[in-house]
Structure 1
Amino acid sequence: MKPRFFVVFLFVFLFSAALVYSGELNIEKCELSQLKSLAKEKNTNIVINFYAYWCPACRELYKSVLTSEGVKKILSEYVFARCNGEEGEGEKLFNQYKITAFPTLLILDASGKELDRLVDEIDEGKIKKSLEQVKSGKNELEELAKKSDANPKDVDLMFNVCMSYVFKADREKAKKYCEKVLKADQKNEKGYASQVLLSLGKYLYFRGLKDYDLAAAHLEQVIKLFPDSKEAKSAFVFLISSYVKSGKEGVAVMKLRELVKKNPNSKEPYKTFAYISWKNKWRIEQGIENAKKALDLEPKDDDAWDLLAELYFLKGDKVEAAKAEEEALKLKPGEEYYKEQKERFSK
């Protein structure tokens, strides 16, 4: 090979490689039509990371996994976007694809059809495995479901299949396998029954399918059947939110007042009321009042100060929101999230 030709060849090769992977994570705008257009143009699939600003696992996923060299290189082969699942176009897509939890990585083809999704505990290995299976056309969950059908006494496998279908918002298959788990672990000896009822209510029906009556029915069962389980506390928060979403505000208020009455000297009932007010953008003034009561009982609760700041921000009072966040920062000066929050409220 002539030296001059070799130099030209080397330049073209290196330039082409730079187009494939530049070393940076290329994040596209959260707009489905644009993502589909880019995917068709590049003859590849789409990967969307759904996140929420308040979600610690979402921040950790982005900081430690998505921006790692290995994952950046993997994602360079795809059209990648990050979507805030609670705002604008991101919220529309969150609802359209029935996303059940934060964080989620959703894999779509160029037409927008879902191919796979990863939820919650996501690492480089899981991302690589999922994308490879999509390429090969392999469906690991379907294979596990068949294995579960062939081994009806394997409750652990049955539980994993049930939960996977819950997070994928596959109503019929989730119902099929989760009902089997509930029957096999009626007394909650394995702790599966309480987890399944909570997950059906919280993830499948409340977040994924927006069927608030069915969500409430399953969450009520968690509290009724397994009141001492760790799932019962989480179930209560989503149960009240289900009442709010379905227009049963009177029931929601009554249940919250009952909780406060049972524990008048504890900050937790007041924080619960404030949290539900914030998450549902509901009765904001009462939420502020209850956050303050929680802080009267425990002034050093940085989380309660952050919650109060969120409520003031919803009210439109940025000054008070920034002041409340400053109190959270005083208690935990090294907390990056509180610094980001204060900056957000100060804009």
Structure 2
Amino acid sequence: MVFTTKDFADYINANYVAMKLNGDTDLGRKLRNNWLVPGYPTMVLFTAEGEEIDRIVGFGGKKDEYFQTVKDYTNGKNTLKDLMVQVENDPNNARLYFDIANKYNDRGEDEKALHYYEKVLELETDHSSDMYLQAEYNVAESKAYAADNPDYLQHYAKTCTDDNLKYYAYSSLARFFRMKKDQANVISVYEEALTALPDNASMMNSYAWYIFQNEVSDYYERGIEIARKAVEIEPEADSIWDTLGQLLFAAGYTDQAIEAMQRAVDLAPDETSYKNNLQRYKSARS
């Protein structure tokens, strides 16, 4: 992650040695596997001795909240270590078990995460609460990864009635098969997901991006179809226009790729990669 605000950048530089890694390079893949990084972006904070303090997976767009979390973790507040101390003093607090489970989940420690999610189901009395429903999903996910068996997630994805949790279940199931390099099942999961969630532009973009990134040339036309539908649903999503542009260019539709990438540039003029892609496409046409 690039720290574009001065106060954030100054804080990071004062407390850490910052290093940005591309997870798709040889070194990036090695370190990503070592640290069990679940997705992008992920920030992992370490002590000077190399011990993980904590990590933040994803970015919800709230910069001030993100910055505060970094400061809290740096000061030892709400880290995994801190929560473990808290739960010793309050052993019937379902929320603490839930937060600890999420920490282990973000670290890829599925068996430990499963133990704490199951404690949430045991302690939480409101079975309709968001926390309980989320824990149910995470139990299915943790069992799938801990047992190396996708059946738990597949059953959950098919029977879950909450669209957000269904989205997470299918996304995790696709990741399960991606990690195994099982392309046929990745595609099957995405197709099933789009049948279950026909208007979910994020799922469409994930599928289309998978097709592009893995050069599944037999599915380029399918990827383009999906990405076009996604930008119809979310026309202001620059990342989806980027996906569409990259697929169009890969499939040989240079003029259409230029149009799509131009939309991405217009929507996010500060994103250098879009500009570079656009220039590359224009150069290829000439």
**TM-score, structure 1 as length reference:** 0.60
Question: Quick one: structure 1 residues 194 and 108, their matched pair in 2 at CA, closer, same or farther if it must change by over 3 Å?
Answer: same
Question: Quick one: structure 1 residues 92 and 315, their matched pair in 2 at CA, closer, same or farther if it must change by over 3 Å?
Answer: farther
Looking at structure 2, the residues matched to 343 and 236 of structure 1 have their Cα atoms a distance apart, in angstroms, of 32
Secondary structure at the aligned position of 1:79 is classed as coil
- State the superposition RMSD in angstroms: 4.1
Aligned position for 1:344: 277
Question: Quick one: structure 1 residues 198 and 326, their matched pair in 2 at CA, closer, same or farther if it must change by over 3 Å?
Answer: farther
- TM-superposed CA distance for 1:197, in Å, is 5.2
Aligned position for 2:115: 176
- Asked whether the 8 Å contact 1:198–1:231 carries over to 2, the reply is yes
Deviations 1:289-308 (A, max 9, x none): 34235526939835443222
Pick aligned residue for 1:301 from 235, 238, 244: 235
Look up the equivalent residue of 1:148 and give its one-letter code: V
- Asked whether the 8 Å contact 1:220–1:239 carries over to 2, the reply is yes
Matches within 5 A, 1:1-347: 51=1, 62-64=3-5, 68-69=6-7, 71-73=9-11, 75-109=13-47, 113-120=50-57, 123-133=66-76, 140-185=79-124, 188-196=127-135, 198=137, 214=148, 216-246=150-180, 248-258=182-192, 271=205, 273-278=207-212, 281=214, 283-292=216-225, 295=228, 298=232, 301=235, 303=237, 304-312=240-248, 321-329=257-265, 333-336=266-269, 340-347=273-280
Looking at structure 2, the residues matched to 173 and 212 of structure 1 have their Cα atoms a distance apart, in angstroms, of 9
Question: Quick one: structure 1 residues 272 and 75, their matched pair in 2 at CA, closer, same or farther if it must change by over 3 Å?
Answer: closer
- Asked whether the 8 Å contact 2:170–2:190 carries over to 1, the reply is no
The structure with the larger Rg is: 1
Aligned position for 1:3: none
Looking at structure 1, the residues matched to 42 and 248 of structure 2 have their Cα atoms a distance apart, in angstroms, of 29
- Asked whether the 8 Å contact 2:98–2:131 carries over to 1, the reply is yes
Question: Quick one: structure 1 residues 106 and 205, their matched pair in 2 at CA, closer, same or farther if it must change by over 3 Å?
Answer: farther
Look up the equivalent residue of 1:114 and give its one-letter code: E
Looking at structure 1, the residues matched to 234 and 78 of structure 2 have their Cα atoms a distance apart, in angstroms, of 49
Look up the equivalent residue of 1:128 and give its one-letter code: K
Looking at structure 1, the residues matched to 263 and 176 of structure 2 have their Cα atoms a distance apart, in angstroms, of 32
Give structure 2 stretches of 5+ with no counterpart.
Answer: 60-64, 281-286
Looking at structure 1, the residues matched to 260 and 228 of structure 2 have their Cα atoms a distance apart, in angstroms, of 11
Give structure 1 stretches of 5+ with no counterpart.
Answer: 1-50, 52-58
Secondary structure at the aligned position of 1:84 is classed as coil
Deviations 1:258-283 (A, max 9, x none): 5566788x68576564244246x152
Share of identical aligned residues, percent? 19
Secondary structure at the aligned position of 1:336 is classed as coil
Question: Quick one: structure 1 residues 89 and 152, their matched pair in 2 at CA, closer, same or farther if it must change by over 3 Å?
Answer: same
Question: Quick one: structure 1 residues 321 and 342, their matched pair in 2 at CA, closer, same or farther if it must change by over 3 Å?
Answer: farther
Looking at structure 1, the residues matched to 204 and 254 of structure 2 have their Cα atoms a distance apart, in angstroms, of 22
Look up the equivalent residue of 1:63 and give its one-letter code: T
Looking at structure 1, the residues matched to 83 and 200 of structure 2 have their Cα atoms a distance apart, in angstroms, of 44
Looking at structure 2, the residues matched to 312 and 213 of structure 1 have their Cα atoms a distance apart, in angstroms, of 39
Question: Quick one: structure 1 residues 234 and 302, their matched pair in 2 at CA, closer, same or farther if it must change by over 3 Å?
Answer: same
